[in-house]
């Protein structure tokens, strides 16, 4: 599984510049890392992972297939979006379909780029969008609770559970806190996710800074970092203009340019890694002469469920998983060497897959 990240922000914060740069960068990647445009505002890019190329090199894989992330450039937001102002309805509909929100905040001064509020204040910008989402959630909750009335009178257990969760969310929202601040038990997780509350989505704050501040950030990005820490959210500092320039360069030129800017890696890499951390995602690999492939799963996923990411039948007929840790695969120079060194393990249904595992699943057809 990959994941969908919605890029949101007020007008003129660099949201679309960042989206266009990220997707152009992906288009410029080697043939093994293709880019495809699904819709005008949706781009799918390969998740950069140098481990995959190393594995492919050892196994002599003919094809390298990375896991993928989908970026959704969500319609610009203005005050009143929850009431349908601007492209509000489209914004709210699109945001329900993503796994996480990358909230682009303007952390730069530029007299040629007018801020919609006439000032640079990323914390206030964040509050505008959060407030609109909270208003939309409260209205949604009130409608849902009204629709549950008949089922509640009939003693419907599912409706009772849904009402309880809706009330918990509403209580948080009425005190000015997003739905993601509600502690949800594992038993309630599925029902909670089905509520599709906008403020339940994990948030990654993207501080868009000037080119000369990309490596160190600035006072505004520092304030955003503090806010993110208080909320348990993620944050990353990026210069959309640098990303735009990188998108026009080949790999060697891009690396040289990054070095000149004092950066170790492109913003795309940092953004994706921060998104993975935010959602608790990790990667495992399948490797062979035909292809080396990366697969995305949530941390804590058991072997049968990890196998299901490849094909549902793998989970149904799961027998065992032959497992080699990434470092053991590299040090053994492949499966044979790892096996001879006693590093290949046979794991059953209760095995919790680790990041970097090289797996081969055995199953009944």
Binding-site residue ranges? 12-17
Do the Cβ atoms of 329 and 335 come closer than 8 Å?
yes
d(CA 183, CA 194) in angstroms, rounded, equals: 16
- Length of the chain equals 365
The binding site for ATP consists of 12-17
Q: Which two tokens stand for residue 296?
A: 């995305």
Do the Cβ atoms of 45 and 139 come closer than 8 Å?
no
- Per DSSP, 119 falls in state S
d(CA 201, CA 135) in angstroms, rounded, equals: 15
Cα-based angle 73, 240, 4 (whole degrees, multiple of 5): 30
Distances (CA, A) of 236 to 70, 209, 214, 267, 274: 18, 10, 10, 9, 7
d(CA 90, CA 81) in angstroms, rounded, equals: 9
Do the Cβ atoms of 254 and 243 come closer than 8 Å?
no
Do the Cβ atoms of 283 and 57 come closer than 8 Å?
no
């Amino acid at each position: 599984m990959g994941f969908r990240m919605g890029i949101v922000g007020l007008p003129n914060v660099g949201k679309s510049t960042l989206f266009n740069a990220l997707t152009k960068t992906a288009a410029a990647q080697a043939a093994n890392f293709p880019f495809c445009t699904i819709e005008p505002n949706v781009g799918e890019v390969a998740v950069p992972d140098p481990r995959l190329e190393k594995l492919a090199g050892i196994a002599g894989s003919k094809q390298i297939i990375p896991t993928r992330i989908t970026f959704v450039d969500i319609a610009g937001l203005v005050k009143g979006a929850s009431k349908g102002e601007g492209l509000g309805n489209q914004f709210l509909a699109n945001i329900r379909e993503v796994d996480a929100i990358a909230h682009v905040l303007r952390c730069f001064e530029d007299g040629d780029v007018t801020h919609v509020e006439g000032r640079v204040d990323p914390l206030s910008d964040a509050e505008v969008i959060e407030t609109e989402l909270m208003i939309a959630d409260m209205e949604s909750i009130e409608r849902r609770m009204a629709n549950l009335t008949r089922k509640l009178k009939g003693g419907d257990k599912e409706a009772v559970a849904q009402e309880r969760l809706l009330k918990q969310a509403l209580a948080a929202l009425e005190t000015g806190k997003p739905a993601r601040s509600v502690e949800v038990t594992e038993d309630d997780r599925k029902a909670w996710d089905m509520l599709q509350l906008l403020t339940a989505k994990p948030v990654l704050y993207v501080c868009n800074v000037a080119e000369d501040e990309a490596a160190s950030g600035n006072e505004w990005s520092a304030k955003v970092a503090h806010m993110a820490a208080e909320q348990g959210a993620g944050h990353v500092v990026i210069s959309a203009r640098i990303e735009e320039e990188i998108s026009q360069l080949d790999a060697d030129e891009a690396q040289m340019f990054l070095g000149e800017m004092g950066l170790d890696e492109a913003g795309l890499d940092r953004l994706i890694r921060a998104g993975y951390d935010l959602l608790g995602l990790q990667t495992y690999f399948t490797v062979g002469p035909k292809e080396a492939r990366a697969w995305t799963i949530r941390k804590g996923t058991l072997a049968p469920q990890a196998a299901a990411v490849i094909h549902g039948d793998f989970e149904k007929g799961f027998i065992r998983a032959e497992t080699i840790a990434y470092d053991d695969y590299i040090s053994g120079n492949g499966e044979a060497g790892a096996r001879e060194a006693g590093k290949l393990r046979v794991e059953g249904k209760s095995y919790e897959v680790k990041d970097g595992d090289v797996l081969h699943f055995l199953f009944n057809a």
